Amino acid sequence: MECPHLSSSVCIAPDSAKFPNGSPSSWCCSVCRSNKSPWVCLTCSSVHCGRYVNGHAKKHYEDAQVPLTNHKKSEKQDKAQHTVCMDCSSYSTYCYRCDDFVVNDTKLGLVQKVREHLQNLENSAFTADRHRKRKLLENSSLNSKLLKVNGSTTAICATGLRNLGNTCFMNAILQSLSNIEQFCCYFKELPAVELRNGKTAGRRTYHTRSQGDNNVSLVEEFRKTLCALWQGSQTAFSPESLFYVVWKIMPNFRGYQQQDAHEFMRYLLDHLHLELQGGFNGVSRSAILQENSALSASNKCCINGASTVVTAIFGGILQNEVNCLICGTESRKFDPFLDLSLDIPSQFRNKRSKNQENGPVCSLRDCLRSFTDLEELDETELYMCHKCKKKQKSTKKFWIQKLPKVLCLHLKRFHWTAYLRNKVDTYVEFPLRGLDMKCYLLEPENSGPENCLYDLAAVVVHHGSGVGSGHYTAFATHEGRWFHFNDSTVTLTDEETVLKAKAYILFYVERQAKAGSDKL
């Protein structure tokens, strides 16, 4: 939006010496010292945390609006200014008085000048940090980024994703998908597409939700992000271009509030699928599908039209079987799916840790059994029986008609009560290897033993109490090693730590070769 308060609120010099030292994205709140979501006031250059951390940036604005009776009028006016601030990570500008993001600038272009200065500070700090780490790598024989594998020392080449302001939900999903090899390789092998040319080529632009730009491609920005990960050339990558496209085509995710990682994953996969169907930026759909024709040819699960790599890898088919309890009429329906959302059975909901003594531990098998067991529909879900010509009581049962190459299982941890969406914090035990799905198949005799076994590739974890708060991280395996992805930070971990996680989304990959392992 066009903000009318910039001229009275943007008072600091673009190269102000009042700015703290270090990279802007790591600046600490002057009140609580938190370095999460720092915002800088464009009136006085003080740094405070965002409203989804401890809200000191907003409090700084509110305190400035309190009239002081013992001060002069000019001091009152000065005190009432601090309305505009800038995100130190994404450089977006926000006005508290307008309660919206700002797209315009002052006549002297001070907002853009401050933005460019913060970017220069960030780049300088990043370059210095890389130089320091390079020196440590050269001089230290036991550098923390090195690991001994089979007697040889190899570098950890994993790259983190910078948090752009409560974007951990997106980072956790991107890191998980980047470690699903068949899916990731497909996008990385697509030809690059230049989205900007002429005068804007190579220029970094800053977007807000009010700007109009139809020349965007989710597939292209997703490809660029995947290519940036696992190269080892930087410790963290900023996915701001991808996030801008997300804002453009997924209005639900505009702004900087916390979002549901599962909801984001579904939107992301659906929009990738739709864009691949229609081609993007001059690349025809047939040219895209030819990149991996084997996937398309073998896939029979089509969602919203033709098959793409999304449905070829994540697509499965459910059979929904409904039986009328009055006349016995049976109705069958086949539904394609990209993931399965599983309830955590109510009898396990007080079991918050694996070692807690009261009662048995909930397992992934319990959740799958609850999903596929015969269920009697309640009064609010009466089935319209075509034979009885009216709504009748009935039973429902799900069978899996076709398993996907990558089985995505979403544990339904958030439930609505009267006014709140509460979290089910139950620990659910899951296997790292050998998840056997054969007993949930409609025709198990038509599937070979290996086709029903799955090994874990990635886990998304939600830390905290509610869907609108907390933090997302991910565990994923890459070349036989497990990594923990926490925004910009990537660390090696072990299987025992992964198994202790309270999983929210699990990604299982179909086993390709025979290997001896325990089944679930």
pTM of structure: 0.65
Residue 264 exposure: Cα atoms within 13 Å on the Cβ side? 25
Residue 468, judged by CB atoms within 10 A of its CB (0-12, 13-18, 19+), counts as: middle
DSSP string of 211-224, one letter each residue? -------HHHHHHH
Question: Residue 429's beta-bridge partner residues?
Answer: 363
Q: What is the CA radius of gyration of the chain?
A: 26
Q: What 3-state DSSP class applies to 100?
A: strand
pLDDT at 519: 53
Position 494 scores a pLDDT of: 93
Q: What is the DSSP string of 27-96?
A: PPPTTT---SSEEEETTT--EEE-TTTT-HHHHHHHHHTS--TTS-HHHHHHHT---EEEETTT--EEET
Nearest to 396 by CA among 330, 326, 334, 327: 330
Q: Are 314 and 338 in contact (CB under 8 A)?
A: yes
The residues carrying an active-site annotation are: 168, 471
Contacts with 86 (C-beta within 8 Å, 6 or more apart), sequence order: 39, 40, 42, 92, 93, 94, 111, 114, 115, 118
Which residue(s) pair with 509 in the sheet? 406, 455
Q: What is the DSSP letter of 191?
A: P
One pLDDT digit (tens) per residue for the chain, 520 residues: 688 888 888 887 766 677 888 888 888 898 998 888 899 998 888 999 988 788 899 999 988 876 544 444 444 444 457 899 988 887 888 888 888 888 888 888 888 888 888 888 877 776 666 555 555 544 443 344 444 444 443 456 788 999 988 899 999 999 999 999 999 999 988 887 654 344 443 333 333 333 344 567 899 999 999 988 877 666 788 898 899 899 888 888 887 788 899 999 999 999 999 988 876 444 444 444 444 344 444 444 555 567 899 999 999 999 888 888 888 888 888 889 999 999 998 888 765 665 655 668 899 999 999 888 888 887 777 888 888 888 888 888 888 989 999 999 999 998 776 666 688 889 999 999 999 998 888 776 666 555 789 999 999 999 987 767 789 999 999 988 999 999 999 999 999 999 999 999 999 999 875 544 455 5
Give the pLDDT of residue 355.
61
DSSP 8-state class, residue 98: T
CB contact set of 69 (below 8 Å; sequence gap of 6+): none
Classify domain 6-65+80-126 by CATH architecture.
Answer: 2-Layer Sandwich (3.30)
Assign 3-class secondary structure to 105-136.
Answer: CCCCCHHHHHHHHHHHHHHHHHHHHHHHHHHH
Of 369, 476, 466, give the one whose Cα is nearest residue 423: 466
Buried b (16+ CB within 10 A) or exposed e, 35-56: bbbbbbbbbebbbbbbbebbbb
What is the Cβ-side half-sphere exposure of residue 369, based on CA atoms within 13 angstroms?
Answer: 7
Q: How buried is residue 145: exposed, middle or buried, by Cβ count under 10 Å (0-12/13-18/19+)? A: middle
> Residue 51 is encoded by which pair of tokens?
């409203």
Q: For 343-393, where are the E strands, in sequence order? A: 362-363, 375-376, 383-385, 390-392
- Comparing CA positions, the residue from 219, 282, 261, 230 lying closest to residue 462 is 261
Q: CB under 8 Å to 29, separation ≥6 — which residues?
A: 35, 38, 47, 48, 49, 53, 54, 56
Query: CB atoms < 10 A from the CB of 252, how many?
Result: 12
DSSP 3-state of 324: strand
pLDDT at position 100 is: 82
The answer to whether 161 and 263 have CB atoms below 8 angstroms apart is no
